[in-house]
Structure 1
Amino acid sequence: MQRLNTAPRTSAAQSPLFRIAWGVGSIVGFLLFWEVMALLIQHRHLPPPTAVFSAMAREFASGELMFHIGMTLYRVVVAFVIAMLIGSTIGIVMGRNGGIDRFFDTWLILFLNLPALVIIILCYVWFGRTEVAAITAVAVNKIPNVAVTVREGARSLSRDLAEMAHMYRFGWWKTLRHVTLPQLAPFFLASARTGLSLVWKIVLVVELLGRSNGVGFQLGTYFQMFDVSMILAYALAFIIIVQLIEFGILQPIAARVNRWRR
Structure 2
Amino acid sequence: MSEKASAVSIRVGSIFVLVFIWYCAAVMMADAEVLPGPFAIATAIIGVLVEPGPEGRSAFFHLGITLGRTFVTFGVAMLLGIAIGLAMGLRKTIEYSMMSLIPLALTMPTILMVFLAVMWFGFNEIGSLVAVVGVVTPYVAVNIFQGAQAMDKSVIDMATVFRADKKMMIRKVYVPQLLPYIFSAFRFAFGMTWKIVALAETFGIKYGIGYMFFFWFEQFNMELVLAWIIMFVILMLILEHGVFARLEHAAFKWRPANKLQT
Q: TM-score normalized by structure 2?
A: 0.89
Q: Which of the pair is proportionally richer in helix?
A: 1
Q: Given the alignment, which residue of 156, 163, 174 partners 1:180?
A: 174
In the TM superposition, what is the alpha-carbon distance from 1:160 to its structure 2 partner? 1.1
Q: Which residue number corresponds to residue 124 of structure 2?
A: 130
CA RMSD of aligned residues (A): 1.6
Q: Given the alignment, which residue of 3, 7, 12 partners 1:24?
A: 12
Q: Given the alignment, which residue of 46, 49, 52 partners 1:57?
A: 46
In the TM superposition, what is the alpha-carbon distance from 1:185 to its structure 2 partner? 0.8
Larger deviation: 58-67 or 100-109?
58-67
Distance in 2 (alpha carbons) for counterparts of 1:179 and 1:217: 44
Distance in 1 (alpha carbons) for counterparts of 2:96 and 2:163: 31
Q: Which residue number corresponds to residue 90 of structure 1?
A: 84
In the TM superposition, what is the alpha-carbon distance from 1:109 to its structure 2 partner? 0.7
| Counterpart code for 1:60 | L
| Counterpart code for 1:222 | W
Q: How does 1:181-260 map to 2 (within 5 A)?
A: 181-260=175-254
| Counterpart code for 1:22 | I
| Counterpart code for 1:20 | V
| Number of equivalent positions | 250
Q: Does 1:153 align with 2:147?
A: yes
Larger deviation: 52-61 or 135-144?
135-144
**Residue deviations 1:208-247, cap 9 Å, x none?**
1121211111111222222111111111111110111011
Query: CA contact under 8 A between 2:118 and 2:200: conserved in structure 1?
Result: no
Give secondary structure in 2 for the equivalent of 1:211.
Answer: coil
In the TM superposition, what is the alpha-carbon distance from 1:38 to its structure 2 partner? 1.9
Distance in 2 (alpha carbons) for counterparts of 1:248 and 1:176: 29
Change (3 A) 1:33 1:137: closer
Percent identity of equivalent pairs: 29
Query: CA contact under 8 A between 2:183 and 2:248: conserved in structure 1?
Result: yes
Distance in 2 (alpha carbons) for counterparts of 1:235 and 1:126: 28
Q: TM-score normalized by structure 1?
A: 0.89
Query: CA contact under 8 A between 1:186 and 1:257: conserved in structure 2?
Result: no
Query: CA contact under 8 A between 2:124 and 2:206: conserved in structure 1?
Result: no
**Residue deviations 1:30-78, cap 9 Å, x none?**
3233223322331121111110011110000025322212111111101
Q: Which has the larger radius of gyration?
A: 1
Q: Does 1:103 align with 2:91?
A: no
Query: Unpaired runs of 5+ in structure 1?
Result: 1-11
**Residue deviations 1:170-204, cap 9 Å, x none?**
32222211111100111111111111111121111
Larger deviation: 161-170 or 197-206?
161-170
Query: CA contact under 8 A between 2:36 and 2:223: conserved in structure 1?
Result: yes
Q: Which residue number corresponds to residue 6 of structure 1?
A: none
